[in-house]
Structure 1
Amino acid sequence: MPARRSICLYTPSTDPSGMGGHMVDLVAEFAPVAEVTLMMRPTPGGRRLLDRARLLGARTVELPSPRDPAFADVVTGSLAEHPADVFHCHVGTGCEDWDGVRLARRAGCPAVVQTLHLPWRVHSRRKREALHHAIEEVDRLIAVSAGLRRSYERAGVPPDRFTTVPNGVAPRTEWLDRGAARAALGLDPCRPVVLTVGRLTHMKGPWHLVDAVPGLLSRFPGLAVVFLGDGPLREALARQAADLGVERAVVLAGHRPDARALLDAADVFVLPSRHEGMPLAALEAMEAGLPVVGTRVTGTEEVVADGVTGALVRYGDPAALCAALARLLGDPSLGRRQGAAGRARYLARSTRERMARETAAVYESVLASAAVRR
């Protein structure tokens, strides 16, 4: 950045998860060269992110619920006390910002940017109208993948409103060898292991992976399929595994703050999602040198090079998922080659530094345009 900017990163989300991790990665890159504020709700997940941001040198603001009458006062009061050159809103889809953008505009922020982290999959006319209303006062929209951007263009958002800045992730700071990672999960060191990371929600399609387990067990009797993450589908997945008679192979390990270190336990990483923006979990698996099997959906299809860094299969097809995983489990040398190719692809395209550099370029472009207008 050419000057020491003041940047405010904001989300009203109750469960920022990957989006929140993206925001904290921006904090890590920008805090050494800018004044950075992170505004977020102090839910259990939000609290962890706020604490990490504070340790990285950011000022943090705990937001009440957007339905709380104090919400607007907290946002505008913070911006009055610490004026921001850039107000950067982060939302899943564009109609979720709860007027944070308008509050920033009224507070006089010269550059208002919004990153969209999920594709537009809504067919309701009312929702589409809400989207267009919400982004009226945004100077520039950032899409985290080209497919996500196209979904908003189909909803009527003009292409020139967007800049695409693909997601990136930081390198790991914690490693475990294969034996230690498996021991941490209570797994035998000799078992073949398939691992996935993410919230146990409908968006992630975890039941399709459970449906693939019987076929995998017929070829790999000692298999463990590990789910790192928690969510509303946990009990349903446990019942599904029991009904299929594969509960001994399905490990629901819950939320783990050491999830990235535990990637060392896996032979193959899998992401059976229904849709993504651009999946950070897949990027992290590639950084760790794992082959990735994913679904051919928005975001994931831009991360995984089919047949090079892993495999892409049709969403909702457990048989195809089973076949792709079996091929990699049955050919460890193929898995190592594709894992190495994935790591090389990560280094070339998906680092946190590249993401932050391109995001900062968006800020400077918007600020330059604001200066011309003034």
Structure 2
Amino acid sequence: MSLRRSIRLYTPSVDPSGMGVHMLDLVAEFVGTADVSLMARPTHRARWLLDRAAESGARTVSLPSPRDPAFGGSIIDFLRDHPADVFHCHVGTGCENWDGVRLARAAGCPAVVQTQHLPYLVSHPRKRRAYHRAIEEVDRLIAVSDGVRRTYQRIGVPPERFVTVPNGVAPLARRRSREGARRALGLGPDRPVVLTVGRLTHMKGQWHLIDAVAGLVARFPELAVVLLGDGPLRDLLVRQAAALGVLGNVCLPGHRPDARRLLAAADVFVLPSRHKGMPLVALEAMEASLPVAATRVIGSAEVVEDGVTGALVRPGDPVALGAAVARLLADPALRRRQGTAGRRRYEARFTRARMAADTAEVYESVLAGAEVAA
């Protein structure tokens, strides 16, 4: 950005997760050249976002619930005191509350932008109508992958309203050694290790990976399958592994704030998701030079190059997933080759700097249009 812009990042999410990481990456890239604020609700799953944004140098605003009568005034008053060139809303599934967008428009923000982080999979007609009404106040919609963008076009959003800005991640600043990462997980230096990262939820599909473990253990008896993360399916996954007789090969360390540094312990990274927007963890695995075995779903299919940086398999097919992982475990040269190709693909397409630069181009395009209209 050639001018020092004022950018207000906003999310109504009570659990911003990967979306919050994306927002923090924009903060990190913009804060040196722009006046950056981040607005969010300080719920127990979102407080970290405000804290880390403040640590990165952004001004932060803790918002009340949209149901609170003070919600509208808190946004309007802030934007009056700190006028914005760009109000950038971040939402996930399309079911969140968009009052912030409407309030930003009422406050006179010249550029209102919204990023869709997940595909539109809501079928209820009333919710679809609500979505279309909500985006009337948005100048430009951003999708984190082409697959995400197509789901919104299928429900009637005009193609010209959308632009795709693929996700990106920063290079890891401090790496752990393979041996150090394995010690942190209580794993021996010679065990084959398959690792995945994510909330233990239905959307992430970890039970398909556990279904594949028995077949893998038959070929690789010392295999360790590590599921980093926590969530409502934890107990179910433990019971599933026990019922299959593979509990000794499955490791569930829970949520680890150092999860990205623990990627160094892995031989293969697996992403068995049922759907995604564009998975940051797959980008992080590629940055770590790991081959990625993933399901061929929205987002993942644009990250993993099948047969080059890893493998893509049909979602919900543990046999195919297990076969893809087995091929990689059995062939160290293939793992190295695909891991190196994944690192190159990350550097060429999925860096944080590229994502921020593309996002800034969207801002400037909208602002130029606003100047012409004025």
Normalising by structure 2, we get a TM-score of 0.98
CA–CA distance in structure 2, aligned partners of residues 331 and 133 of structure 1: 53
The unaligned stretches of length 5 or more in structure 2 are: none
What fraction of aligned residue pairs are identical, expressed as a percent?
72
**Contact 1:94–1:135 (Cα < 8 Å) also in 2:** no
CA–CA distance in structure 1, aligned partners of residues 267 and 281 of structure 2: 15
**Contact 2:66–2:97 (Cα < 8 Å) also in 1:** no
Q: Which letter maps to 1:288?
A: A
The unaligned stretches of length 5 or more in structure 1 are: none
CA–CA distance in structure 2, aligned partners of residues 229 and 98 of structure 1: 29
Q: Which letter maps to 1:308?
A: V
**Contact 2:166–2:355 (Cα < 8 Å) also in 1:** yes
Structure 1 window deviating more from structure 2 (121-130 vs 339-348): it is 121-130
- What's the CA shift string for 1:288-341, capped at 9, x where partnerless? 000000000001000000000000000000000100000001111100110000
**Contact 2:93–2:121 (Cα < 8 Å) also in 1:** no
- What's the CA shift string for 1:9-36, capped at 9, x where partnerless? 0001111110000000000000000000
CA–CA distance in structure 2, aligned partners of residues 23 and 347 of structure 1: 20
**How far 1:94 sits from its partner (Å)?**
3.3
Structure 1 window deviating more from structure 2 (35-44 vs 131-140): it is 35-44
Partner of 2:248: 248
**How far 1:45 sits from its partner (Å)?**
3.5
Partner of 1:42: 42
- What's the CA shift string for 1:259-286, capped at 9, x where partnerless? 1110000000000000010100000000
**How far 1:48 sits from its partner (Å)?**
1.8
CA–CA distance in structure 1, aligned partners of residues 241 and 43 of structure 2: 30
Partner of 2:110: 110
- What's the CA shift string for 1:230-256, capped at 9, x where partnerless? 111111111111111111111111111
Partner of 1:234: 234
CA–CA distance in structure 1, aligned partners of residues 94 and 83 of structure 2: 24
Aligned to 2:46, the other structure's residue is in SS state helix
CA–CA distance in structure 1, aligned partners of residues 45 and 343 of structure 2: 28
Partner of 1:283: 283
Q: Which letter maps to 1:254?
A: G
CA–CA distance in structure 2, aligned partners of residues 183 and 324 of structure 1: 27
CA–CA distance in structure 2, aligned partners of residues 330 and 46 of structure 1: 41
Partner of 2:6: 6
* Dislocated runs of 4+, deviation >6 Å: none
Give matches, 1:216-227, under 5 Å: 216-227=216-227
CA–CA distance in structure 1, aligned partners of residues 102 and 228 of structure 2: 37
CA–CA distance in structure 1, aligned partners of residues 134 and 84 of structure 2: 20
Give matches, 1:314-333, under 5 Å: 314-333=314-333
**Contact 1:66–1:98 (Cα < 8 Å) also in 2:** no
Aligned to 1:61, the other structure's residue is in SS state strand
Q: Which letter maps to 1:68?
A: D
**Contact 2:88–2:113 (Cα < 8 Å) also in 1:** yes
Aligned to 1:45, the other structure's residue is in SS state coil
Aligned to 1:88, the other structure's residue is in SS state strand
Structure 1 window deviating more from structure 2 (83-92 vs 44-53): it is 44-53
Aligned to 1:270, the other structure's residue is in SS state strand
**How far 1:95 sits from its partner (Å)?**
4.1
CA–CA distance in structure 2, aligned partners of residues 67 and 232 of structure 1: 27
Aligned to 1:308, the other structure's residue is in SS state coil
Work out whether 1:300 is the aligned partner of 2:289: no
- What's the CA shift string for 1:30-56, capped at 9, x where partnerless? 000000001112233322222221111
CA–CA distance in structure 1, aligned partners of residues 188 and 49 of structure 2: 33
- What's the CA shift string for 1:341-360, capped at 9, x where partnerless? 00000000000000000000
Number of corresponding residues: 374
Give matches, 1:202-221, under 5 Å: 202-221=202-221
Normalising by structure 1, we get a TM-score of 0.98
CA–CA distance in structure 2, aligned partners of residues 237 and 76 of structure 1: 46
Work out whether 1:175 is the aligned partner of 2:182: no
Q: Which letter maps to 1:198?
A: G
Structure 1 window deviating more from structure 2 (64-73 vs 23-32): it is 64-73
Partner of 1:158: 158
CA–CA distance in structure 2, aligned partners of residues 57 and 45 of structure 1: 21
- What's the CA shift string for 1:151-199, capped at 9, x where partnerless? 1000100000001101100000121111100000111111110001111
**Contact 1:11–1:97 (Cα < 8 Å) also in 2:** no
CA–CA distance in structure 1, aligned partners of residues 56 and 83 of structure 2: 20
**Contact 1:286–1:343 (Cα < 8 Å) also in 2:** yes
- What's the CA shift string for 1:70-112, capped at 9, x where partnerless? 2222222221221111000000033424311001101111100
CA–CA distance in structure 2, aligned partners of residues 239 and 171 of structure 1: 37
CA–CA distance in structure 2, aligned partners of residues 333 and 157 of structure 1: 46
**How far 1:68 sits from its partner (Å)?**
2.2
